[in-house]
Amino acid sequence: MFSYRHAFHAGNHADVLKHTVLIAMLRHLLQKDTALTVFDTHAGAGLYRLDGEYAETSGEAADGFLKLLAALKKPSAPAKKGGTAKPLVDGVAPILQDYVDLVASFNQPGSHKIYPGSPFIIQHLLGERDKLKVFEIHPTDVKTLSANIKQLEAGRQVAVLREDGFEGIKKFLPPPARRALVLSDPSYEIKNDYARVVAMVADSLTRFATGTYAVWYPIIPRPEAHDVPRKLKTLATKAGKSWLNATLTIKSSKLTSDEAGDVVRPGLPASGMFIINPPHTLKAALQLALPQLVEVLGQDQHATSTVEFGG
């Protein structure tokens, strides 16, 4: 049985990177007249409470979304959570403001109890003609997700599939209007996920070469994790497709020890988003936004960001 529950991690620095990129891509892709189909191969529960038991136990949003929110507020309005508010030096990158505003729109003014997961972020931006298909296999999360989606009354626009997302996507490609964004955000709880996500993109490109594929991956000291962007880059290059790889590191990955001499694991220090066929506007938007995220979310001198691209 899977033990990963995204509720513990909602709004952390990895979500900040992933959801900022997701929103920026959708804003661009949704400008066209033709319908877009969005696939979310690993959907999670859809909506999370930042004041709930799970999020409060881990406190990860305090070092992610809530810290960014506090930094975007004026210094005269310090945040209750997430440390001292500090204004961004050179004005806020538009895609960061867009991300924070979108999350805020799920909350009462001034309150930040709800954090939308990827299915809700996507659905929020879609037009009537666009479709969303989400996959989730955790028995509890898929029930919560279905109940949450039902409340949207989105009808046939959104389909929740209790299926393996890596396999399930195959039957939908290419989509009817031949425009699609595929987000793949595995928990990497199973070691095989690293190879499966690459295989899924490889297979998808043979079915539908012009789709936009976005893969989130952790940057941790494990060879399989390092292989993900490396293999995706090779895939994209061989297929003659453009690609973009954005990374955000907030702290060192080194183990430390506490006062009692026990080893302290640093938690997730960094993550990346690898995109094949990215919108042409994404590179410049991220080159502006990521250094600001480093400034706000960075915890030590190892904090850094990169935007690499090719094709």
In the list 137, 152, 220, 294, the residue contacting ligand SAM (rule: CB under 6 A) is 137
Pick 3 or 301: Cβ nearer ligand SAM: 3
Pick out residues in 71-130 that bind ligand SAM (CB under 6 A): 117-118
144 binds ligand SAM (CB under 6 A): no
138 binds ligand SAM (CB under 6 A): yes
Q: Is the CB of residue 256 less than 8 Å from the CB of residue 264?
A: yes
CB of 19 to ligand SAM, least distance (A): 6
Closest CA to 157 of 61, 51, 35: 35
CB of 217 to ligand SAM, least distance (A): 11
Closest CA to 130 of 183, 180, 182: 180
Pick 4 or 309: Cβ nearer ligand SAM: 4
Q: 23: part of which helix (H) or strand (E)?
A: helix 13-29
117 vs 45, 151, 263, CA distance in Å?
7, 15, 32
Pick 147 or 255: Cβ nearer ligand SAM: 147
Q: Which stretch binds ligand SAM (CB under 6 A): 73-81, 185-193, 263-271, 276-284?
A: 185-193
**Burial annotation 110-141 (CB, 10 A radius, 16+ → b, else e):** eebebbbbbbbbbbebbeeebbbbbbbebeeb
Q: Which stretch binds ligand SAM (CB under 6 A): 40-48, 146-154, 224-232, 286-294?
A: 40-48
- At which residue do the structure tokens 């935007």 appear? 307
Q: Mark whether 33 is an active-site residue.
A: no
In the list 39, 65, 135, 208, the residue contacting ligand SAM (rule: CB under 6 A) is 135
Total residues at the site for ligand SAM (CB under 6 A)?
21
Q: Are strands 243-249 and 304-310 parallel, antiparallel or unpaired?
A: antiparallel
Q: Is the CB of residue 67 less than 8 Å from the CB of residue 82?
A: yes
Q: Is the CB of residue 303 less than 8 Å from the CB of residue 219?
A: no
166 binds ligand SAM (CB under 6 A): yes
Q: Is the CB of residue 146 less than 8 Å from the CB of residue 45?
A: no
Pick 187 or 253: Cβ nearer ligand SAM: 187
Pick out residues in 235-294 that bind ligand SAM (CB under 6 A): none
Find the catalytic residue in 63, 141, 185, 193: 185
CB of 137 to ligand SAM, least distance (A): 4
Q: Which stretch binds ligand SAM (CB under 6 A): 72-80, 102-110, 158-166, 235-243?
A: 158-166
- Residue 40 burial (CB count, 10 A): 29
27 binds ligand SAM (CB under 6 A): no
Closest CA to 6 of 194, 297, 268: 268
Task: List interacting residues with ligand SAM (CB under 6 A).
Answer: 2, 4, 6, 18, 40, 42-44, 117-118, 135-138, 141, 164-166, 185-187
